[in-house]
Amino acid sequence: MTMRFEDPAAEFVLAVERVFGESPRVLDGSRAVLLGDLKLQLEAGERELWLIERHGVVERRLAMVEVEDDIERALREAKERLDGGA
């Protein structure tokens, strides 16, 4: 018998790398990543993607993007917001 474990949040790390073009530092068991001073964090049962600006230990929530079916689509929307497109 073969057992298979699937973790949808694990795709989050790979999708961040594809969308942002750099390898993130993984935090909190693959539900949060760090890209420089920007923290991307999945919350609310992986239905919310929070964009959080970090300055040392101080964090400021910049925006929230709803995650529907596709984490990569939510990440593209987040990147667009950060780039000033929304």
Domain positions in the chain are: 27-82
- In this structure, which amino acid lies at residue 82? L
Residue 10 has pLDDT above 80, yes or no: no
Give the pair of three-digit tokens for residue 34.
């760090």
pTM (2 d.p.): 0.82
**Which pLDDT score is estimated for 65?**
93
DSSP 8-state code for residue 29 = G
Residue the block writes with tokens 């890209």: 35
Residue the block writes with tokens 């910049």: 62
Residue 34 has pLDDT above 90, yes or no: yes
Q: What rounded mean pLDDT belongs to the chain?
A: 86
Helices (H) and strands (E) in the chain, counts: 2, 5
Strands 58-66 and 48-55: antiparallel
Mean pLDDT confidence for 41-51: 87
